[in-house]
Amino acid sequence: MKTSEESRVEHAIEVAKKAHEGQFRKTGEPYIIHPLAVKKILEDWGMDEDTIIAGILHDTVEDTSLTLDDIRKDFGESVAFLVDGVTKLSTARTGMRDIDTYLPATRDNFLRLMIALGDDIRVLIIKLADRLHNIRTLSALPPDKQRKIAKETLEVFAPLADRLNMGQLRVELADLSFKYVDPKRFNELKNLITRHNKSAEKSLQKIKTEISAALKKEKINFEISGRVKSVYSLHKKLAKHNQNINEIYDLTALRIIVDDVTDCYLTLGIIHSLYTPMNGRIKDYIAMPKQNGYQSLHTTVITKDKHIVEFQIRTHAMHEYAERGLAASFYYNEQKLTENYKEGKIEHLPTNLLWITELQTTAARLREGKKVDLKKLKLNLFADKIFVYTPKGDIIDLPTGALPLDFAYRLHSEIGDHVVGVKINGKMSNLNKKLEQGDVVEILTSKNQKPNTSWLSRIITSHARHKLLHRLNRSSDNMIKQDKNPKK
């Protein structure tokens, strides 16, 4: 039991220590090191207390004898919900196949899955903190596992961080993992960047001095610094440009942070009066933010001594948001941002928050509409659904109890209409078999097959029912037509 002086966080640490007692990490350290590191990361991101507590407890339900009810009793509904979400995410993940067999579509699906299961965005933030610590300590694992986790981080978690506009996190996740996925290439590019920076150093210093003088003359408050390009993003850019380093214009980049939006545009003008802007390289992400809410002005210029330099100009708030993304908005607004938006207090909501708002609105609607207790409902959000896979690895979500024909019609009505059989997890099965979480479902079709009314008892989704009825009506129409117009 919690003593009165003990804070909730301290209590959570005690509970986690006890629960993980006797467990060790691959590094040989006591397991508790990991949840404590996750706690530290969440604190650094400025997350709220419930999230920090859930971070401390995130592995207990899955790996120890502690139950969700224990957590609910001690820490309340909100913490229990977050821990449950993290546990559910990793269970759903286990049902999926190796990253090596992933196709791009599957990666997107995994992101969607995480978001769908996320419900409360803080679940994803805990998951990201968890992954960050795991990737920082990856060297303790055997090489095949290292590669697998690194690849998944690169292809799923780093893009997720990007989607939340957590720029700093994206760079750290991507570069740490890329080092394991392709060490040779990583070192090559790392050296290339170092060499480039060294050779650009002198001229960069000169440019900084020129710009600083010009900005001071205009009485603009500013901070100027070099932006280090991440190894992984260089790798990706090179791939896009046929490995031609001369086409990479943002190897050298300077970032200028000013007080307000007007100063951003003034600064842009000053830069263009000093150097020649490159055609088609001016981007106004302030007027038109990126999908994840990122805002800045970008321009690439050619200096008098023929150096190509990219400038990124933004306000302090934009900078904070670009580096820390969604976590930053928690820090400043404690989730008020979306509420204020709904109440009309702020006009512009970064685009990236829109999907979160949608997600939360849906969840809220469910909660309000049904008036059942939160516990039941939140668990149901997960319980009603199963996730099954196509042989290619695409995820299809279906209601619990769905049958192979529901799956087939979800893929395409052309597939549904021509089903002759089904393989589940590689084995021949039948059309009455209920699909289960994680099944790999392969539909067998034949051009000559036609649906019949008995199929109606072999579907449970209204989507499939609708498609099937449509098809059955159409074929009876055809028969009538044929009767009316006997063969010539």
Enzyme catalytic residues: 62-63
Phi, psi at residue 451, to the nearest 5°? -70, 150
Q: Which two tokens stand for residue 134?
A: 């795991």
Between 86 and 166, CB nearer to Mn ion: 86
Query: What's the min distance (Å) between Cβ of 133 and Mn ion?
Result: 7
Q: Which of 241, 361, 356, 362 is nearest to 291 (CA)?
A: 356
Give how many residues touch Mn ion by CB under 5 A: 2
String marking each residue 46-85 x if it binds Mn ion according to CB under 5 A: -------------x--------------------------
* Member of 74, 119, 120, 130 binding Mn ion (CB under 5 A): 130
Between 41 and 264, CB nearer to Mn ion: 41
Between 58 and 319, CB nearer to Mn ion: 58
State the DSSP code for 440: B
Residue 86 in contact with Mn ion, rule: CB under 5 A: no
Query: What's the min distance (Å) between Cβ of 130 and Mn ion?
Result: 4
How far is residue 466's CA from residue 134's CA, in Å, rounded to a whole number?
Answer: 46
Contact positions with Mn ion (CB under 5 A) in 196-235:
none
Is the CA virtual torsion 253, 259, 265, 267 positive or negative? negative
Query: What's the min distance (Å) between Cβ of 32 and Mn ion?
Result: 11
Q: Which long-range contacts (CB under 8 A, 24 or more apart) does 466-470 make?
A: 467/409, 467/413, 467/416, 468/405, 468/409, 468/416, 470/413
State the DSSP code for 228: P
How far is residue 250's CA from residue 229's CA, in Å, rounded to a whole number?
Answer: 8
- On the CB side of 116, CA atoms within 13 Å amount to 20
Between 59 and 175, CB nearer to Mn ion: 59
Q: Which residue is nearest to Mn ion (CB)?
A: 130
Residue 225's beta-bridge partner residues? 255
Between 62 and 70, CB nearer to Mn ion: 62
Query: What's the min distance (Å) between Cβ of 35 and Mn ion?
Result: 7
Between 82 and 388, CB nearer to Mn ion: 82
How far is residue 127's CA from residue 132's CA, in Å, rounded to a whole number?
Answer: 9
Chain centre distance of CA 215: 38
Q: Which stretch binds Mn ion (CB under 5 A): 124-132, 138-146, 343-351, 456-464?
A: 124-132
Query: What's the min distance (Å) between Cβ of 203 and Mn ion?
Result: 46
Q: Which residue has the tokens 């760079």?
A: 171
How far is residue 79's CA from residue 329's CA, in Å, rounded to a whole number?
Answer: 20
Query: What's the min distance (Å) between Cβ of 173 and Mn ion?
Result: 15
Under the rule (CB under 5 A), what is the footprint of Mn ion? Answer: 59, 130
